[in-house]
Amino acid sequence: MSRYGRIFGLVLTMIFCLSSLTACGAAAEPGMGATKELQVGDKAPDFTAKLVDGSEFKMSEHDDEVVLINFFASWCGPCMGEMPVFDRLKSDNISNFSVLCINCEEEKATVDTLVKEKGYTFPVAYDEDGAIGAKYPTDGIPYTLVIKNGVIEKTFIGAGSAEEQYKEYKGAIDACMK
């Protein structure tokens, strides 16, 4: 390797060393790395979310019912694949039950376009700064929690087909209703 090559390699290596050290020193995303995932039996953290339809969803106001919370994003294939399930659950008109899908850190405009294009009828919340996600830390999405009286009853990671997910979620909701 020529002198140029060696110098270039050295500079490049130094850049990578420095950037890696910077990266290692950088603060992790709030609540994402340091906090453990919520477990069944844990109290569901309270949050207030702004919804696409302009209203608000306050978790503590749903302490007396069963709530299904789903974290999703437009770039996540499995998330988009299971979205019809939430429309179906909404149209089932289950009493004492709420569903809420929380978008993970995408811009309002993106979420608005997505909801309009897909015609979702269930409540969709923004979480542009990841503040709600930080209270419900997870390694990946889709991430779904079924909560009864403010306590986490069941969690789901990933997603199969819409039909499979409907059965899974409906089963968990029915179990909570008993």
Partner 1 sequence: MKVREHFKKFSRRYVQLIVAVLYNCNIKGFSDGTIWKGSSKGVCVPGLNCYSCPGALASCPLGSLQTALVSSKYKLPYYILGTLLLMGLFLGRFICGFLCPFGLIQELLHKIPSPKLEKSKITRGLTLIKYALLVIFAVMIPVFYSAPGFCKYICPAGTLEAGIPLVLLQKKLRPLIGNIFSWKVAVLFVIMALCVVAYRGFCRFLCPLGAIYSFFQPVSFFGIQVDEGKCINCDACIRNCKIDVKKVCDRECIQCGECIQHCPADAIHFVIRRADRKRRFLQVALTMLAVIFIIAGLNSNGFHDLMSKAVRLCYECMGIG
Point out which residues bind partner 1 (CB under 8 A).
1-2, 4-6, 8-9, 12-13, 16-17, 19-20, 22-24, 26-29, 32-33, 73-78, 80, 104-107, 109-110, 113-114, 130, 138-141, 157-160
Question: 71 has which bridge partners?
Answer: 102, 143
Q: Closest distance between partner 1 and the C-beta of residue 130, in Å?
A: 7
Read off the DSSP letter of residue 56.
E
Q: Closest distance between partner 1 and the C-beta of residue 140, in Å?
A: 3
Q: Closest distance between partner 1 and the C-beta of residue 116, in Å?
A: 11
**Cα separation of 112 and 126, whole Å?**
9
Of 6 and 43, nearer to partner 1 (C-beta) is: 6
**Cα separation of 157 and 161, whole Å?**
13
Q: Closest distance between partner 1 and the C-beta of residue 169, in Å?
A: 16
Helices 162-177 + 77-91 axis angle, to 10: 50
Of 65 and 106, nearer to partner 1 (C-beta) is: 106
Of 92 and 107, nearer to partner 1 (C-beta) is: 107
Tell me which residue has tokens 């270039």: 8
Q: Closest distance between partner 1 and the C-beta of residue 159, in Å?
A: 7
Residues 6+ apart with CB under 8 A from 88: 166
CA-based nearest residue to 140, from 159, 124, 123: 159
Of 123 and 142, nearer to partner 1 (C-beta) is: 142
Of 1 and 93, nearer to partner 1 (C-beta) is: 1
Q: Using DSSP, state whether 32 is helix, strand or coil.
A: coil
